[in-house]
Amino acid sequence: MAHVVVIGASTGGLPFAYDMKKTLGNDHEVTVISNNPNFNFIPSNPWLAVGWRSEDDISFELAPRLERKDINLIIGEATQIKPNDNQVMVGDQVVDYDYLVLATGPKLAFDEVEGLGPEGHSVSICTTAHAKVASSEWGTFCANGGGPIAVGAVQGASCFGPAYEFACIMDTDLKKRGIRDKCPITFITAEPYIGHLGLGGVGDSKGLLESEFRQRHIKWIINAKVTSVTADTVNVDEVNDEGKTIKTHEVATMHTMMLPAFKGVDTVAKLAEIDAGYVNPRGFVMINDYQQSPVKENIFSVGVNIAIPPVEATPVMCGTPKTGYMIESMVTAVVHNIEEMIAGKSPSHIPTWNAVCIADMGDTGAAFVAMPQIPPRNVTWAKKGRMMHLAKIAFEKFFIRNMKTGNSEPSYQKYIFKMLGIERLKKK
C-alpha cells in the first residue's frame, strides 16, 4: 500500500486529494495536511472585501467532506520536511509518506515593502481572513463618505488579475452607494503597461484594460516601485525602461490594497538547507517537466508554490501568475505520474501550463486565454462582456459545490470553455 501525502488544501491540494483517491482507490492511502480546517475559495476574496459575499458563502469545513471520501486529514502546520526519511513533521507528529505533494501556496512577502499589509497600513485580499478584515474596513470607509483609494500590485508580484478585479469591483460598489465621485482611484503596478498581467500581455489585454480604466476614471502609474505605504500615502518611484527613477509619487489614499510579492513558505524554503536543488532563492519549488523534484523523485509540487521564471524581462520585476486552469493541468499530471510510479513505471504526463483566466469587474468581466503561457502562442485571446461577469459567478458556485461533494469533474478547463463558448480555441 502506498501512502500519498499532500501539504495544502486549497485550489491545488484539495482537488489533488480527491483525484488521487479516486484514481488509486482503497488499496492506497491519501492524507491531507492543512493549517486551516476550512476550504476557502480564494478567487471570491475581492467580492468578500466589499461585502458582496460572507465568509460562510465561500468557505466550508474540510473534515466531513474528506472523511466521506476516506481521505485522512491532519489539521496543523507542517513544520519540517525530512525528504531523506520520507517524513513530514506536524509539530511533534511524524507523518510517513511514500509520495509527497507540495501544494502549500505562497508566503505573502508584505515585509519587503515598509508599511505594506494588514499589519501595516493596507488591506489584503490574498486570504479569506484578510478579505474579511478588509470588508469591515471598507464598510467604515464608505460610511464615512469615502476618499482617495490606492490599489494595485508591488514589485515582484505575480498575480495581477485580482488587483484589476478589485479596482473595478470597488468602482462598481461605490457607484451603487452613490459616492464614486468622492473616491478618486489610482492603480499602481509594477507592470510595464496596463494589461501586461505578468504574461507579456494576452491578446489585446492592454487596449481592453486601458479602455476599461478610462471609462471608470481610474488613473494609473506603471513601472512602479512602491517604496513605502503609510496611513495616508503610497510612495512610489516610477522608472523608465532602463530601470532609472524618472519620477516619484506620493499617492494620497484613505483605503489601500496592494498585492505583495510571493515567496515560498518557510517549511518548504528550508529544504535548501538539505539540498540547493529543492528550491530557488525565493523558496519556490524547483520541478522538472513532470512537476517532480529534480532531487527526490517521490516529491511533486502543484500550484502557486512552484518556480516559474518571468515570461520576459521588465524594468520592474514582475512574476508569472499561476492560474486555476494551469493548476488543474498540474494536478492531473501529478495524479497520473504517481499512479504510474506506483505501478513501477516512469512518469510520462506533462502539464499543459496554458493560461486561462476570468476576471470579474463588478458589472462586467473579461476573459484571457494564452496557449501556451509563454509567447509565441498558438492561441492568444481577450474578450470583455457581461457574460464573463456571469461566468465568474457561476464558476464560483460550480467549484465550491464540487469541492464540497468531492467531485473534480467536469474539469475547470471544460467548464470555462463551455461557459465562454470558445470550444474553437482548444487547438492542439
Read off the pLDDT of residues 35-85 as tens digits, 9 standing for 90 and up: 999 999 999 999 999 999 999 999 999 999 999 999 999 999 999 999 999
pLDDT of 419 reads 57
Using DSSP, state whether 225 is helix, strand or coil: strand
pLDDT of 1 reads 93
Domains in the chain and their CATH numbers? 3-108+262-351 (3.50.50.100), 122-260 (3.50.50.60)
Using DSSP, state whether 99 is helix, strand or coil: strand
> pLDDT tens across 89-127, in order?
999 999 999 999 999 999 999 999 999 999 999 999 999
> pLDDT tens across 194-241, in order?
999 999 999 999 999 999 999 999 999 999 999 999 999 999 999 999
| 159 is annotated as an active-site residue | yes
Give the burial class of 252: count Cβ atoms within 10 A of its Cβ; 0-12 exposed, 13-18 middle, 19 or more buried. middle
Q: SS3 helix, strand, coil % of the chain, rounded to 5?
A: 35, 25, 40
Q: Confirm if 245 and 236 have CB atoms less than 8 A apart.
A: no
* pLDDT of 426 over the 50 cut: no
| Percentage with pLDDT > 90 across the chain | 86
How far, rounded to the nearest angstrom, does the alpha carbon of residue 264 sit from its chain's CA centroid? 13
Beta bridge partners of 260: none
pLDDT of 376 reads 85
Among 126, 142, 159, 183, the one annotated catalytic: 159
* pLDDT of 424 over the 60 cut: no
pLDDT of 428 reads 39
Look over the chain and give the mean of its residue pLDDT values, rounded to a whole number.
Answer: 94
**What's the mean pLDDT in 143-172?**
97
Q: Confirm if 395 and 358 have CB atoms less than 8 A apart.
A: yes
pLDDT of 321 reads 92
End-to-end CA distance of the chain: 37
333-346 in b/e burial notation, b at 16+ Cβ within 10 A? bbbbbbbebbeeee
* pLDDT of 265 over the 50 cut: yes
| Number of CB atoms found within 10 A of residue 247's CB | 12
Beta bridge partners of 30: 4
Query: Backbone dihedral region of 380: left (phi > 0), alpha (psi from -120 to 50 degrees) or beta?
Result: beta
Among 126, 183, 318, 357, the one annotated catalytic: 357
